[in-house]
Amino acid sequence: MTLLLSAAILRGMSSEQEFLDSYDPSAFDRPSLAVDVVVLTVRDGRLEALALQRTEHPHKDRWMLPGGFVRIDESLHDAARRLLASKSGLSDVFIEQLYTFGDPGRDPRMRIVTVAYYALVNAERVPDTARWFPLDIPWEGETGGPVDLLDDGDKPLPLAFDHEDILGMAVKRIRGKLDYTPIGFQLLPERFTLRDLQTVHETVLARSVNKDSFRRKMLASGQLEATGEREQAVGHRPAELYRFARRSAI
């Protein structure tokens, strides 16, 4: 059927239902849709990401982010949460849509567009079965660019597809959001010290911040609540413990 004839037929239809009944989805090429999730935590003064080793082609034995195909009957957000839980054991964590990666050659199997998400989790919630690797970020600030994962010998892991670009976009995003959203609290336990909060910010930013001005800013933000408690069993003066007030939407 020619495009001209198709247009003429559509103009003659009297209802939307008639149009839908006659619509042929196979008339257009359709890419497959996937989601990938960058799961980040802060541990031992380093920013780390969760990765899985591929057991089949393509890119067999390379490392990848948790992800997979979106089911026909689920939203992108539901797909991201489902795949995160099934492949990492993590649920009920902060997760947010990051960016869409659609380079035609990003996957050698076929045209696959992936909608990337990032999740932030406190190190105390990291499952023992998950594999976590420190990030090697070769750029400062929000410059952006590919980011590698490092093995136990501090050598870059071979990553599948374009996952080094997805990692880089996640780092760029959270660095940019630290100043105006409370995402840093997602990387902390329920109760924390101001020193803990500063350590998270410095680890994500990969630079030091002024202690006094940082603490004044955090205390004035309205995002912290004092618990009235202090650290226990520490070899220095116990610091006051705070919690996230959760007054600001993320």
pLDDT at 231: 85
pLDDT digits (tens, 9 = 90+) for 22-32: 888 888 888 99
Residue 175 exposed, middle or buried by CB count within 10 Å (0-12, 13-18, 19+): buried
Domain boundary among 125, 147, 177: 177
CATH number at residue 201: 1.10.10.10
Shared domain check, 131 and 54: yes
- Answer yes or no: is 19 within a domain: no
pLDDT at 122: 93
pLDDT of residue 62 exceeding 90, the answer is yes
pLDDT at 124: 85
- Answer yes or no: is 88 within a domain: yes
- In a 3-state reduction of DSSP, which class is residue 159? strand
Domain boundary among 177, 206, 224: 177
pLDDT of residue 153 exceeding 50, the answer is yes
Shared domain check, 88 and 201: no
- Answer yes or no: is 101 within a domain: yes
- Answer yes or no: is 8 within a domain: no
Place of tokens 């007054």: 247
- pLDDT band of residue 237 (cuts 50, 70, 90) is confident
- pLDDT band of residue 139 (cuts 50, 70, 90) is very high
- pLDDT band of residue 113 (cuts 50, 70, 90) is very high
Q: Taking residues 182-196, report their average pLDDT.
A: 93
pLDDT digits (tens, 9 = 90+) for 83-111: 999 999 999 999 999 999 999 999 999 99
- pLDDT band of residue 243 (cuts 50, 70, 90) is very high
Shared domain check, 192 and 83: no
The rounded distance, in Å, linking the Cα atoms of 104 and 31 is 9
Shared domain check, 147 and 84: yes
Shared domain check, 127 and 222: no
Shared domain check, 161 and 80: yes
What's the domain count of the chain?
A: 2
The rounded distance, in Å, linking the Cα atoms of 187 and 41 is 6
Shared domain check, 211 and 196: yes
pTM: 0.89
Averaged pLDDT of the chain? 91
Cα distance from N-terminal residue to C-terminal residue, the chain: 50
Domain boundary among 177, 204, 235: 177
- Answer yes or no: is 195 within a domain: yes
Shared domain check, 171 and 64: yes
Q: Which long-range CB contacts under 8 A does 101-107 form with residues at least 24 apart? A: 101/36, 101/162, 101/165, 101/166, 102/31, 103/162, 106/161, 106/162, 107/58, 107/161
Instruction: Name the least confident of 123-127, 179-183, 193-197.
Output: 123-127
- Answer yes or no: is 102 within a domain: yes
Shared domain check, 224 and 134: no
Shared domain check, 204 and 139: no
Give strand ranges (E) for 110-234: 112-120, 132-136, 148-149, 224-230
- Answer yes or no: is 7 within a domain: no
pLDDT at 4: 47
Q: Could you tell me if 114 and 67 are in contact, meaning their C-beta atoms sit under 8 angstroms apart?
A: yes
Shared domain check, 142 and 225: no
Q: Could you tell me if 120 and 23 are in contact, meaning their C-beta atoms sit under 8 angstroms apart?
A: no
Shared domain check, 218 and 166: no
Helices 211-220 and 194-205, packing angle to 10 deg? 110
Residue 85 exposed, middle or buried by CB count within 10 Å (0-12, 13-18, 19+): middle
pLDDT of residue 234 exceeding 80, the answer is no
CATH number at residue 118: 3.90.79.10
- pLDDT band of residue 12 (cuts 50, 70, 90) is low
- Answer yes or no: is 22 within a domain: no
Residue 51 is part of which domain span? Answer: 32-177
Q: Taking residues 158-185, report their average pLDDT.
A: 95
